[in-house]
Each structure stands twice: as C-alpha cells, then as structure tokens.
Amino acid sequence: MANYKNYTNKEMQAITIAKEITDGQIVIVGTGLPLIGASLAKRIFAPNCKLIVESGLMDCSPIEVPRSVGDCRLMAHCGVQWPNIRFIGFEANELLNGNDRMIAFIGGAQIDPYGNVNSTCIGDYHHPKTRFTGSGGANAIATYSNTVIMMQHEKRRFIDQVDYVTSVGWGDGVGGREKLGLPGNRGPIAVVTDRGILRFDEKTKRMYLAGYYPTSSIEDIIENTGFEIDTSRAVLLEAPSEDVIKMIREEIDPGQAFIKVPVEE
C-alpha cells in the first residue's frame, strides 16, 4: 500500500513553490520542480493562474509534467503556440504597461545575500573551474519580472559574492537595480530551497530566513549558508497533506521524472 506520509524535501520544495503563486497570476516556468509546483498550484492553490514557457507556449495545462519546454505534453494543452520572440516581447510589454501580474522561476549555481544569481561559471570567467550553460532566458526574466529563485541550500552556493552575475537580483541593495539601469519595481521576492524559504527585507533588500521545513531547522540552515543570515522571523512550515503528496506522485509526476518516490524498506 502506498505511503503518502513519507514526503521528501523535493516534494516540500515543490509545494512551497506552488504556494508562492496567487490566483490570476501569469507564471513563467521551466521544467523540473518549478513546473511541478506550478502544476500543483493550478490544481489546488491558484486554479486561475496561467502558465507560460520561454519556448512561446502560453496558458499551458499539462496533464503530467513535461520533460522540456518543447514537450508535446505542453503543446497539446496550451492556449497559444507563439514563437520564442513573441514570449520575450510579452515579458517586456507587461513591464512597459505597468502590469504586476507576472511571477517567474529561475535557478542557478550560486546566489549572494541580495539575490544576484550565477549560472555561468565557477571561478574566473576567462579561465573557469566549471562552465555552466549560462543565462538562457533567465537574465531577461530577472529584468522584467518578479522572481522566485530555486536553489539547493548549500554553503558553497549561498556565498557573499557570486563569481559571475548572470541574473541581477537587488544588485548591492537598496537602489542597486536602478544604478544598473534596471527597473526597481521588479526583483527577487523569494528563494525556495530544499531546506526552507528565504525572502528579502523591504528596507535593506537583504535575504532573511522566512520559514524552514519540518525536516530542517534554523541551525541547519545557518550551517549551510555561507553568509550571515537573519533568522529572527523564521517560522516552522506546515508539513504537506497526504492528498497533496498523492497528487504529485500519481497525477503530476507519475513517471518520477523529477522527484523520486522513497523506497519503503
């Protein structure tokens, strides 16, 4: 008999993503956990949200989680199939018309206290220790949209200064985006990790711990963060219901493409 009480940190992460989406929002997602979270939001928390992907597919309603942004499971259940350039124009148009209905999910290899993300390289740009795939659409998304950043919570990823700024967060703090010529009314609103959720202080724009999972702790998060982090506002997040875990495993990701179900001993 299936056990839906033994949820994993990845499932908790996907659920936390889902709860960041509000009803009626336009949600820019990629594959993996963000799409699982967005699919869950559309089923439970925000049924009127609209999912869009950078390949140009708009108002997607996948039956189960696709493997890529060009997957037929996205194409078969979407409102419009636009070319990629129309997607980029749509992002810019939302900003230029003063609309504040869009939220986007991006990831990376490193992040600093102000939400600046590196997905380009580790080490010197010209002689890197590791080279990653780079921005893709993340830089434009971070420019035009409010973002939720997906990260694994490790000290080597949460550092004082990233090796390369691929996607600008709040720059060097208050006014940082404006100094770079970016809109100050857009920026990162949260970081969702496999240990909890972090937000940004309205006055300083510096990251703080907002909540931690039942499988984690404040001490655990401090130990795995490479800079000083305010934990005074942190709360213990509620464990997921069995119904939600069942939906993830049986409806959204039944093939375990992105979340592996724990093996019962």
Q: What is the pLDDT of residue 31?
A: 80
pLDDT digits (tens, 9 = 90+) for 150-198: 999 999 999 999 999 999 999 999 999 999 999 999 999 999 999 999 9
CA 118 to mean position of chain CA atoms: 14
Q: What is the pLDDT of residue 73?
A: 74
Q: Are 122 and 129 in contact (CB under 8 A)?
A: yes
- Residue among 11, 20, 54, 91 flagged as catalytic: 54
Q: Are 168 and 40 in contact (CB under 8 A)?
A: no
Q: What is the pLDDT of residue 12?
A: 96
- Burial label for 106, CB within 10 Å (0-12, 13-18, 19+), is buried
DSSP SS3 for 220 = helix
Q: Are 187 and 147 in contact (CB under 8 A)?
A: yes
Report the share of the chain in percent with pLDDT over 90: 70
CA 240 to mean position of chain CA atoms: 19
Instruction: Tell me, yes or no, if 54 is annotated catalytic.
Output: yes
Question: What's the pLDDT band for 201 if we cut at 50, 70, 90?
Answer: very high
Instruction: Among 3.10.20.30, 3.30.470.30, 3.40.50.261, 3.40.1080.10, name the CATH number for the domain at 9-252.
Output: 3.40.1080.10
Start-end of H helices in the chain: 9-19, 33-40, 72-75, 84-96, 138-144, 176-179, 218-223, 242-247
Taking the C-alpha atoms of residue 100 and residue 52, their distance in angstroms, rounded to an integer, is: 16
Taking the C-alpha atoms of residue 131 and residue 124, their distance in angstroms, rounded to an integer, is: 10
In the chain, domain spans: 9-252
pLDDT digits (tens, 9 = 90+) for 17-50: 999 999 999 999 888 899 899 999 999 999 999 9
Question: What's the pLDDT band for 104 if we cut at 50, 70, 90?
Answer: very high
Q: Can you give the pTM of this predicted structure?
A: 0.93
